[in-house]
Amino acid sequence: MYEDWTLITGGTVIDATGADPRRDTDVVLHGDTIVAVGEDSTGIPMPPKEQMRRIDATGRTVMPGLIDVHCHMTYGEARYEEEIDLYTSAEMRTLIAAANARKVLRAGVTSISQPGGSYYIGVGIREGIKAGLVQGPRMSAAGRYLTTSNGLTDWFPDSVGVPDGNIGTLTNTADAMKNEIRHQVKNGVDLIKLADSPYGDYQAFTNDEMKLVADLVHQLGKKVTIHARGPGEVRAAADAGFDWIMHGNVMTDEGIEKLVENDVTLVPTLLLLANLGDWPELTGAPYPQYHGARRMLEKSVESLHKAHAAGVQFAMGTDTGFAVTPYGEWHARELELLRVYAGMSNMDCILAATANGAKMLDLEGRLGKLLPGYLADVIVVKGNPADDLHVLVDKRNVEIVIKDGVVQEFPDDLDMVRYHNDRDPLIYSQTELTYDMVTGDNPDKPYSVLPWSMTDGLEIAHEIDRSQQALVPEDGAVHD
């Protein structure tokens, strides 16, 4: 038996080239490489198929592993921003990220890009996965977002400043931007991310600043992306030579033309907005959050449809890492959203989730397709995503995950475990307690100072005293 050779037989192959699915097509893997798909092969000698390790995929779909290019491993399924920036130590963030990485892989996402996060934890997780210390998807990572006082991630008042644990770092001058880029590259990042205005209401970075950033990042051999929801920053980033753009909710025709002209990939990242907007009664999201998310989705329809029609390349990103977008749960829902909000076909969506994401891992021509010579990241799925994208949304349909040619194994209780910081923000009330709120329509309505009578209150106090006395040893000493 040739243990380093694997035959996946009998399945319907989606190779992510845009070709129609091929029924009853064999796939051969050798080590971490795809050697043959059907009659196509790399040409290297192969042992007899009956002597290979065998996976029967009859009645299943065999396709490349998914690539999520907007996945924040250091956010830790945060319920509020301070949980990310303040209340979770660097050490705990690292451990939580390592524990959650396998959930992403279990969902069939074999590669991710983390466009920003706390400290250099993403770099560490990337290296831990490479070294086999952590089970998770292959990964590229940015450091902290570069932002301005008018951009996303400068959350706190100037009197507080920007905490070291913040996911962004303040760069209000050209020199500050260059300094931060140089330090991040020194510390091992794969890409630099800028954070423009939160909702695209204005352009926070100037055109010259974006050009300066893109030129220096490329000079140092790295990639650059940006959080850009509005028309000004989208066009400026495309003009400046950014490699891909996150969001692009509102774009002008000229901005879309620039994306096509400069071959800039768009990563709409609709999942966070949709999960906030669709299920506030389940998540408890406050009105400004879910209402704003719904409005942003409504604004996105026209621009995304135009961009797709113009030939802009799309990739799948999800903003996974918040409590409303937990690891391993919703990645493929982004594809259903792209179909609705951008008018993409099922196959277009599959390409967005596979081949089009290879650029963000710096592995174009090596990752994201089921072709001879490509990396052996493969999933075997119950159902056919080319007919129904929803089969990828339910992770139970992802029956086998292969990364680098190795069939991955996961604990049965993986999806049952959630990790959170125990410290919550100090909240005194959700509203102001007024006199009228207590008395209602009757200002003379009596109310008690305590929810019990004075007699009952004295009895409670005596009972507490008796209980405390019972805890004191007979010798009266205090013992450690």
CB-based contacts of 414: which residues, under 8 Å, 6+ apart?
102, 103, 106, 328
24 pLDDT more than 70? yes
Average pLDDT score, the chain: 93
User: pLDDT, tens digit, for every residue of 302-324?
Assistant: 999 999 999 999 999 999 999 99
Q: What's the rounded Cα separation, in Å, for the pair 109 and 65? A: 6
Contact status, residue 167 vs residue 203, Cβ threshold 8 Å: no
Nearest CA to 17 out of 5, 31, 34 is that of 34
pLDDT at 143 over 60: yes
- SS3 label, residue 372: coil
Q: What is the pLDDT of residue 453?
A: 64
- Residue 181 and residue 221: Cα distance in Å, rounded? 12
- pLDDT grade for 445, boundaries at 50, 70 and 90: low
Q: What is the pLDDT of residues 198-248, one digit of tens each?
A: 999 999 999 999 999 999 999 999 999 999 999 999 999 999 999 999 999
**What's the confidence (pLDDT) of residue 479?**
47
Q: 5: which strand partners?
A: 30
Q: Are 250 and 295 contacting, i.e. CB atoms less than 8 angstroms apart?
A: no
| Average pLDDT score over residue span 122-144 | 98
Poorest-pLDDT segment among 85-99, 100-114, 138-152 = 85-99
What pLDDT is recorded for position 41? 87
- pLDDT the model gives residue 377: 98
- The superfamily in CATH containing domain 66-368 is Metal-dependent hydrolases (3.20.20.140)
pLDDT at 447: 58
Q: Tell me, what's the pLDDT at 460?
A: 75
How many residues in the chain? 480
Residues 18/347, Cβ–Cβ less than 8 Å: yes
Model confidence band, residue 474 (pLDDT cutoffs 50, 70, 90): low
What are 416-430's pLDDT values in tens digits?
888 877 777 777 777
CA proximity to 301, closest of 313, 309, 291: 309
Name 111's bridge partners: 67, 138
Does the pLDDT value for residue 446 go beyond 80?
A: no
Gyration radius (Cα) of the chain, Å = 26
**Does residue 182 carry a pLDDT above 70?**
yes
Residue 467, pLDDT score = 79
How many whole angstroms separate alpha carbon 418 and alpha carbon 420? 7
Torsion on CA atoms 212, 218, 221, 227, rounded to nearest 10: 80
Residue 476's pLDDT band, with cuts at 50, 70 and 90, is: low
Which phi and psi angles does 60 have, rounded to 5°? -120, 170
Tokens read off for 383 = 């159902």
Q: What pLDDT shows up at residue 450? A: 59
Q: Assess whether pLDDT exceeds 70 at residue 478.
A: no
CA angle, 345 then 364 then 73, to 5° = 80
Tens of pLDDT, residue by residue over 324-344, are 999 999 999 999 999 999 999
